[in-house]
Structure 1
Amino acid sequence: MADEGTPVVFVHGLWLHATSWNPWIEHFRAAGYAPVAPGWPHEPETVELARANPDAVADIGIDDATAHFASIVEGLGRPPVLVGHSFGGLITEKLLGQGIGLAGVAIDPAQIKGVLPLPLAQLRAGLPALGNPANLHRSVSLTEKEFRFGFGNALSDEESAELHRRWTIPSPARPLFQAAAANFVLHSQAAVDTRRADRGPLLLISGTADHTVPDVVTRSTFKQYRDSTAVTELKQFEGRGHSLTIDHGWREVADAVLGWLREQGIS
């Protein structure tokens, strides 16, 4: 990768396929970076294949996914920028806390151990998985209505339905159970080293209308880093929901990330 720009690894969260990052990949490549968007462990290569084989990703936990992406990073030869959305944001935080990665951007990151707020909207958004304890070992899909509440609540009905049709896939429910129980488990997989001082800079991004990871949760996550001297910043997007990486306004978010990276001297 010696002739390419700084590598960027995009990490998606639950219920979206890795190819949902394709517009970001093109945008970052045009800006001089060398982006990739790997899937989670065993994730089929296309949305269609993922829907046809939902059990492929069943029972995958946070540590499984984190180790998977750590291995990908190791194979790049150069420390990358990590950009994650939702549970991909939590994985980004975990990797950065392990000293992996040049910098991290966690967009609407799933809550880490130590975060206490649990808004009703977040509880409702998690019900498709958490509503049945047997889902711990299963993969779960979102209906169009469930996606509308959890992702597309700030969008028109038509745009939300189109995003559901285009990008949604079955995802493992285990990470949701792990995050929900994090504050009651001594060695939770949702734990992040928020005190580390020698890590790369971290940007947390929230959408103020997000139901799945409400703004108050991201703000509480930001406070967990108060004992670290490393660069940690928070940016909020007014009126944006959990779909902010894939909806019509994705470029505004992507440009904000690119601008922040330039401010950190990373190009």
Structure 2
Amino acid sequence: MTEPRTRPATPVPVVLIHGLWLHATSWAPWSDLFRTAGYAPLAPGWPGEPATVEEARAHPDQVAGHGIDDVVEHYAKIIDGLDGKPVLIGHSFGGMIAQKLLGQGLAAAAIAIDAAQIKGVLPLPLSALRSALPVFRNPANRHRAVSLTEEQFRFAFGNALPEEESRELHARWAVPAPGKPLFEAAAANFNPHSPAEVDTRNGSRGPLLLVTGGRDHIVPEAVTRATLKQYRHSDAVTELREFPDRAHSLTIDHGWREVADACLEWLAARSL
């Protein structure tokens, strides 16, 4: 159990960035925990994202068509309005966005949890392709928002959970997601100006923690370890933490607190 940290005069802002198919409100338990620990958390949605899960499901067109650059610019503007550089915690595509913002010098530190594949990462496991198939099966989905069925969500997110819990998480948090970021990431290594490119050589950036779930289907461990290798030319701190028995749902399922506590412990060790 993580004890509350000593509260500075101005609490350090923590920006929580979700990924595809989850709503920003899925970070609510994390926000409560980090606030208790002395931080100032905020969990803004992606550009166009409605305020509630119900609204997001009713109006998928509001997020359709937004790509990686749109999301990065959106969060950069939010960061610009803060009193100081924040700590970024991103999950899935949110983890990629956090890495891009950290590489641009806009954050004090970042934690990327099961982060989406960045440019330069070559492994593309079959489970990752199957997880993205609901989007890739139709090229027109690049400009649409796509939902996951309960069965698709179980394979992509809830494969390490009891079926009932996966079903409950789908009913509570799953929302349509823009297809464009997936198409951009899939073509990253063939595009010299890919929006999935991260400045992995920046030696003056803040520390980065990569977190991987050993049973993740969307972002298998091999992808995260290959991401770690992309930072080998930087002198900045880059570390890896593995949760061997966890899948892509690790930020929202019954074991979320273990992951959140590990993030708090890492930040404390870095005096952040």
* Cα offset, 1:239, TM superposition: 1.1
Q: Which residue of 2 aligns with 1:166?
A: 172
The AA in structure 2 aligned to 1:226 is: R
Partner of 1:246: 252
Deviations 1:143-202 (CA, angstroms, capped at 9, x unpaired): 000000000000000000000000011110000000000000010000000000000000
In the other structure, the counterpart of 2:116 is: 110
Amino acid at match of 2:55: L
1:193 equivalent in structure 2: 199
Q: Helix, strand or coil for the counterpart of 2:148?
A: coil
| Aligned residue among 219, 222, 238 for 1:216 | 222
Cα distance in 1, alignment partners of residues 101 and 136 from structure 2 = 26
1:205 aligns with 2:237: no
Residue 233 (structure 1) aligned to one of 236, 239, 242: 239
Residue 42 of structure 1 is matched in structure 2 by 48
Q: CA deviation at 1:130?
A: 1.2
1:138 pairs with 140, 144, 148, which one? 144
Tell me the SS of whatever aligns to 1:265. coil
> Aligned AA for 2:31?
I
> Aligned partner of 1:141: which letter?
S
Correspondent of 2:57 among 51, 54, 70: 51
Give the structure 1 partner of residue 80 of structure 2.
74
CA distance in 2, matches of 1:143, 1:51: 12
Q: Which runs of 5+ in 2 are unaligned?
A: 1-7
> How many angstroms apart in 2 are the aligned matches of 1:229 and 1:186?
25
CA distance in 2: counterparts of 1:238 and 1:192, whole angstroms: 26
> 1:92 maps to what in 2?
98
CA deviation vs aligned residue, 1:2-50 (integer Å, no higher than 9, x gap): 8441100000000000000000000000100000000000100000000
- Amino acid of the residue matched to residue 59 of structure 1? G
After superposition, the CA RMSD in angstroms is 0.7
Q: Are residues 1:25 and 2:28 paired?
A: no
* 1:241-266 alpha-carbon deviations (Å, 9 max, x no partner): 00000000000000000000001111
Q: Identity of paired residues, percent?
A: 65
- Does 1:7 pair with 2:20? no
4+ long deviations beyond 2 Å: none
If the length of structure 1 is used for normalisation, what is the TM-score? 0.98
SS in structure 2 at match of 1:82: strand
Q: Which runs of 5+ in 1 are unaligned?
A: none
Shift of 1:131: 1.4
State the partner residue of 2:3. none
The CA deviation at 1:77 is: 1.7
Q: CA deviation at 1:118?
A: 0.5
Q: Does 1:257 align with 2:271?
A: no
Aligned length: 265
Q: Residue type matched to 1:134 in 2?
A: A
